[in-house]
Amino acid sequence: MLDGVLEIERATERLRSAYAYWRTKSIDGRLPGRADIDPGEMVAFLANIVLLDVLREPLDFRYRLMGTAVEAHMLRPYIGELMSTVEHQRAPSRIWSDFETVALRRRPILTDVPYVGPHRDFMRVQHVIMPLAADGETVDMVLSVVDFVPKD
């Protein structure tokens, strides 16, 4: 989470860069909103982003945008799909739990999950998941930056 608990130092350089960018948009304890995020400022990690809408009652996540690097390594493009309809992502999966934690606790997390996709040269996925809130308080989107960690 923020200020030490997130353990950002164990993240890849790409993820540390994304988290540092998100922090610059978090002003006076308020969460940044989608309008605060500028793709032109995210060149170092733009191909690795995933943007999801947070739906409530019941909680779910809709894929809105997927960077080209992420899409190239996934089983298929998920744009427009609900996370609850993706077999290996729906509750009670680890990835669902990670996104739920960010949406409900309003804090970013860094996590590693096993890689599920067409490429056998990846061992795991590391991603930093960060909340976005148009009103600065209520999480309505989640920004995830994904890095694919190869096998040694």
Share of the chain above pLDDT 70, in %: 87
pLDDT digits (tens, 9 = 90+) for 75-100: 788 899 999 998 878 888 888 999 99
pLDDT digits (tens, 9 = 90+) for 46-78: 999 999 999 999 999 999 999 998 888 877 888
pTM of the complete model:
0.88
pLDDT of 41: 96
Of the ranges 78-82, 92-96, 105-109, 126-130, which one carries the lowest mean pLDDT score? 92-96
Q: Which residues pair with 75 in a beta bridge?
A: none
Alpha-carbon gap, residue 46 to 71, rounded angstroms: 12
109 C-beta neighbours (distance < 10 Å), count: 21
User: Is the pLDDT score of 3 beyond 60?
Assistant: no
Of the ranges 30-39, 100-109, 121-130, which one carries the lowest mean pLDDT score? 121-130
Identify the CA nearest to 65 among candidates 37, 101, 93, 30: 37
Domains recognised in the chain with CATH numbers: 8-150 (3.30.450.20)
